[in-house]
Structure formats: C-alpha cells, structure tokens
Amino acid sequence: MDNDPRCCGTGTCIINAEGVCWCGQVWDGEKMCMPKLGSDSMKSICDFEAKSIQGEAIPFSNFSDKVLLLVNTAIQCGFTSQFKGLENLHKTLSPKGLVVLGFPCNQFGSQDPGSNAEIETFCQSNYGVSFQMMEKIEVNGKNAHPLYAWLKEEAPGLLGSEGIKWNFTKFLVGRNGQVVKRYAPQDSPESIAKDIETALENS
C-alpha cells in the first residue's frame, strides 16, 4: 500500500497494513478519514487527562485559566535544540501563566526510541528542561492520544490536513481552554513568543 493516493491526494502517502497513513488518517473501508473522538463531550482542553513522564495522571483541569503550549518532542531530531527555546519560554512566561508541556513521540523517523526515564534524563542533562514533560504517546493513527485527536480537529494543518507531520509541531491553547493556533515544526519557540504573550494578555 505504498504511495497510496487515497489519503490526501498527493500520491505520496504511505498506508500500512492496518490502514493507517503516516499523516494520521485511517482507511475505514471506503475512504480515508481522521479517527473520531470517543466522546462529543470533549469541548475544552480542561476535559482531558494525560500522564506525566513519571507516570502520574494529570487532569488538565489543573491548568484552568492558564495558557498552554503543547509540543510533540523527540530527542534525536534536527529540531531537538528547540528544547532550549521552550525552556526559555517556560522560565520567562510561566510567571504570567504559561504552561509548556512536552509529549515525547516516536512516530516520526523513530527519533525518540528511549524509555520515559531515558528521555527525561536527556532533556534535563542536555537542555536543563524544567517544564512538564509527559509520558510518551502516539499523536497519529488509531492509537493517538485523545488529547491529540482533539487538538488536530480543532486546529488542522496545511491545506486542512489534520495529521501531525513531524516532531515539534506546536499547539497554543488560550485561557478559555480553546486552541488558538497550530505551528509547524520549523516555527521556533522564539518566533511564536509574541503570540503567546498576546494569549497571556487575553482574559
């Protein structure tokens, strides 16, 4: 099923034996589509829960009235150095209400193969990461974390494609729990700082 045009029409999609494309869409027997959320009740990021990199459940209701920056990360990627910029955002803007959350993911080029403990150690040792790192998850396909299924539906990417394309895709969520904007991997933390500051200023 390589180079299958059924997915997004580009002719470059690669759909595996389970019917899942690299862009996150799933073959339902008739057409390609994004996996749907399990519940229509998920209307705000505060409705979700995820585990920290230490395995502790964190309800996102804890972040009520905060501005969130969510990033799918990898420690062997060309964009890995963005950890430094993310840490700078955390240090300078967390007093104003920013919460940075990193979600390790090994779905893109197998560039995050380590255990949660190994990833945590790497981030702290090499970039002094003190913002909240989360448990490794999948962001595309049928096993995508419900949080990411919701984020992608709320803020599709280029040409309306919902699937995450690579490591260090970023989602900015406002104080009201709604997605403000989605950023591509090449959008550096420094380049989106003004948007974050604007979101922090909005009540």
Whose CA is closest to 200, among 175, 170, 176, 172? 175
Contacts of residue 6, Cβ cutoff 8 Å, sequence gap at least 6: 13, 15, 27, 31, 32
Residues designated catalytic: 77
